[in-house]
Chain A
Amino acid sequence: MTKLTARNVNVFYGDAHALKQVNLDIRQNEVTALIGPSGCGKSTFLRCLNRMNDLIEACRVEGNICLDGEDIYDPAVDLVYLRARIGMVFQKPNPFPKSVYDNVAYGPKIHGLASSRAEMDDIVTSSLERAGLFEEVKDRLGAPATGLSGGQQQRLCIARAIAVCPEIILMDEPCSALDPIATARIEALIDELKQNFTIVIVTHSMQQAARVSQRTAFFHLGDLVEVGDTDTVFTKPVDPRTESYISGHIG
């Protein structure tokens, strides 16, 4: 089932044309990987999906992006509700300079998802458990989150995103700052999360895309060159540009 559809999406930064006529479907309970050389517009596309581009003054988005058939760029759309439904994990871990607990509890708190302290404790604990972090931090939930290691911080950011129970999680190179062990943990986590969430992940690692995703989209210089099942894209790419990128020639 299609969760998100992008039709004829064009993005401009001032006069620079960053994304050109992108058409892409993102299916429910699947992991979609966005790959491509640096500067091709992967992050730009990802940020279009939860309208984080609104924060960039020079950025202009054209075209249609629909979530469950409803245009998310409709002026009537409530951004708070939209971003509660589409969560985001950033490339660089960005925990709030607060305690581990407060980091995870912040989303549920502003959306009023917990009616009591006990319920909040539940949400925090289960989110941390699902992010595979609970065992490591259960004794220091009150300690500042900035004191965690980079990998722990990134998993905390994932826990923070899933605490709001979004339908879609957008991840922008979530493992770029992590060592192989932490990366493996997050990949396992993504695999598990797709039972309940729809995931879009930007990655520079071909292997990672192959390991975690069901579908892969290849971007090049602002064009969406090719999209298809991950297996097909990696074994029988249609476009020569895709072929040379995955074999290590572009980028």
Chain B
Amino acid sequence: MIDRQSSPSETILASLPRRRRAEARFRIYGIAAIGIALAFLILLISAIGTQGIGAISQTEIALDVTLDESVLGLSDARDRETLSKANYRAVIRAALGDVFPEAVSARRDRRALMKLVSVGAGFELRNLVLEDPGLVGGTMRVWVPADDEVDMLMKGATARDSGRFSDKQLGWLDQLEEEGRIRSAFNWRFFTSGDSREPELAGILGAIAGSFFALITCLVLSFPLGVMTAIYLEEFAPRNRWTDLIEININNLAAVPSIVFGLLGLAIFLGFMGLTRSAPLVGGMVLALMTLPTVIIATRASLRAVPPSIREAAIGLGASRMQAMLHHTLPLAMPGIMTGTIIGMAQALGESAPLIMIGMVAFIVDMPQGLLDPASALPVQIYIWADSPERAFAEKTAAAIIVLLAFLIIMNLTAVILRRRFERRW
């Protein structure tokens, strides 16, 4: 017998303060960890937010344009073809000349003056005319985008004395401002157009469309394949060395760096199968390779989480294994499977390396219309802009990051809501 100094309950009582202190300490560690993580998150978001907020607005200049046939270089024909080929830049130049008559004489001045408005001004004017050919011959006031350097100046991102503008140009800008011809407007171009060499014209819709098509391909391939693989492995495959090997391989694939999948796609889909470069179809196929292990692992885990008693009940009633799976286990596992798939899709959305490998990094102005049109993708677009020398692309980069984050948050939120909604208690 052990000789006790005190009774058990006294021993327990004496140990209580120590246990309570340990618990309090642990809670403080936890809170501190969360606090640090949160601080970094806030830092990140506010840094990107303050940079990207500028991209929401765009400086515009008001011009009174006269759509003179002779300036446009139009004859009598008014068909689309001729209208779209007309010289709208000349109209812009003439309108600027009306505001600054003194600057028209010298060639250098004319050039410096034209630099204040975006090269896209002509295209926007053309689109207006194409929509309503009746405008030809008339006069009207249009707001055209200012050049990105002017935009930066107006937003205070470049100083007046930075040397980017001549004194004359600064004077003209002051005059425009005095006359109320300069405004800061909502930058709809950013959300409705594709990429451009000119920051003031560049938009992310092209990249969003590319990402969308790639993700659709990825989902269509990886969801059924992954779910079927998981069902087979969980329900039908015998447990032997081969299935063990397959299992290890699947878990390994989930950890393979994405660029390796990109190289694989480059070699097989482009090199061997000869599919189109830069196409969202190929991008989606590569992303599907990457997402497949995630879907398989999530599906197997959710299938295993369904209580075996449900399956036994079905089989005891005479359901085949297949029926027990399709009627009971799979529907009950579906919320988990969808959550896993959405998280896999979110990963795929943020992936750039494999897409760069298969050529989705090309400079593409046109909006992709289908799976085979050349396209880029959101993260790749961010990479391209971040790499561009023009200062104005910095805020576009940040804004694109915000858009990407927003999509990711929406997807992950959907996953959480799905899980909450369909979570079952047995």
Contacts and interface: CB of A to CB of B under 8 A. Distances in A.
A complexed with B: yes
Interface of A: 50, 52, 55, 57, 79-84, 87-88, 90, 92, 94-97, 106-107, 110-111, 146, 157, 160-161, 164
B239 to A, nearest CB: 6
Interface string B292-329: 00000000000000010110111111111001000110
Contact of A90 (B309, B319, B323, B424): B309
Contact of A94 (B310, B323, B424): B310
A96 B314 contact: yes
Given A97-B424, A106-B327, A110-B323, A81 B318 contact: yes
26 contacts: A50-B316, A52-B315, A52-B316, A55-B315, A79-B320, A80-B320, A81-B318, A82-B318, A83-B318, A88-B316, A90-B309, A90-B313, A90-B316, A94-B307, A94-B312, A96-B313, A97-B426, A106-B317, A106-B327, A107-B318, A110-B319, A110-B327, A111-B318, A146-B426, A161-B317, A164-B317
B141 to A, nearest CB: 66
Contacts of A55: 312, 315
Nearest to A54: B315
Contacts of A52: 312, 315-316
B287 interface: no
Contacts of A83: 315-318
B309 A84 contact: no
Contacts of A146: 425-426
Contacts of A94: 307, 309-310, 312-313
A197 B315 CA distance: 20
Please classify the interface of chain B as helix (H, G, I), strand (E, B), loop, or mixed, using the class held by over half of its residues.
Answer: helix
Interface string B409-426: 000000000000000111
Contacts of A80: 318-320
A109 B320 CA distance: 13
Task: Please indicate which of the listed interface residues A50, A88, A97, A107 has the most CB atoms of chain B within 10 Å of its own CB.
Answer: A97
A83 B327 CA distance: 17
Max chain B CB contacts within 10 Å: which of A80, A92, A95, A111? A80
**Interface residues of A, dominant DSSP:** helix
B332 interface: yes
A88 B318 CA distance: 10
Contacts of A110: 317-319, 323, 327
Contacts of B332: 97
B327 to A, nearest CB: 7
Chain B interface extent, by class: 20 to 34
A22 B425 CA distance: 40
Contacts of A79: 320
Contacts, number: 62
A94 B324 CA distance: 14
A96 B318 contact: no
A79 B321 CA distance: 10
Contacts of B323: 110
A157 B312 CA distance: 12
B217 to A, nearest CB: 34
B306 to A, nearest CB: 10
B316 A106 contact: no
Given A80-B318, A81-B318, A92 B313 contact: no
Contacts of B328: 96
A90 B312 contact: yes
A214 to B, nearest CB: 24
Interface in B316-372: 316-320, 323, 327-328, 332
Given A96-B328, A146-B426, A107 B309 contact: no
Contacts of B320: 79-80
Contacts of B239: 57
Contacts of B317: 83-84, 87, 106-107, 110, 160-161, 164
Contacts of B316: 50, 52, 83, 87-88, 90, 161
Given A94-B313, A106-B327, A157-B313, 10 more contacts: A50-B316, A84-B318, A87-B317, A94-B307, A96-B310, A96-B314, A96-B328, A110-B319, A146-B426, A164-B318
Most-contacted residue by chain A among B239, B314, B424 (CB, 10 A): B314
Contacts of A92: 309
A177 to B, nearest CB: 13
A60 to B, nearest CB: 15
Interface in B69-124: none
A81 B317 CA distance: 10
A248 to B, nearest CB: 31
Nearest to B311: A55
Which 8 pairs show the lowest CB-CB distances between chains A and B? A84-B318, A94-B309, A88-B316, A83-B318, A107-B317, A94-B313, A80-B318, A110-B319
B423 to A, nearest CB: 12
A79 B419 CA distance: 36
A92 B146 CA distance: 75
Contacts of A50: 316
Interface hub of B307, B315, B426 (most chain A Cβ within 10 A): B315
A164 B312 CA distance: 16
A110 B313 CA distance: 13
B251 to A, nearest CB: 21
Contacts of A160: 313, 317
Contacts of B327: 106, 110
Contacts of B313: 90, 94-96, 157, 160
Nearest to A107: B317
A245 B332 CA distance: 43
A52 B314 CA distance: 11
Nearest to B309: A94
B317 to A, nearest CB: 4
A146 B307 CA distance: 14
Nearest to A91: B309
A55 B314 CA distance: 12
B56 to A, nearest CB: 48
Contacts of A95: 313
A95 B312 CA distance: 11
